[in-house]
Amino acid sequence: MDEVKHQLAKMGRSSSFIQLFEYETRDQLVVTFLAILELMKRNEIQVIQESNFTDIELRLV
């Protein structure tokens, strides 16, 4: 979770989900997604998706 917050801060406090990291395996993608869900639950990030199948935008709160 700290790595996600660090990357967002480094990228100007917001980024799309795909731009956060270079995912080498499906496991890395899933772990990152779970970290994002936990950060959402803690109200540490805001997640926006305009419509189905579009990029997911992440923002630090």
Q: What is the rounded distance in angstroms from the CA atom of residue 42 to the CA atom of residue 12?
A: 20
How much is the pLDDT for 51? 95
Are 61 and 14 in contact by the 8 Å Cβ rule? The answer is no
- Model confidence, pTM: 0.83
**Per-residue pLDDT tens for 7-34?**
899 999 999 988 887 777 889 889 989 9
What DSSP character marks residue 52? T
**Per-residue pLDDT tens for 28-54?**
889 989 999 999 999 999 999 999 999
Count, in order, helices (H) and strands (E) of the chain.
3, 3
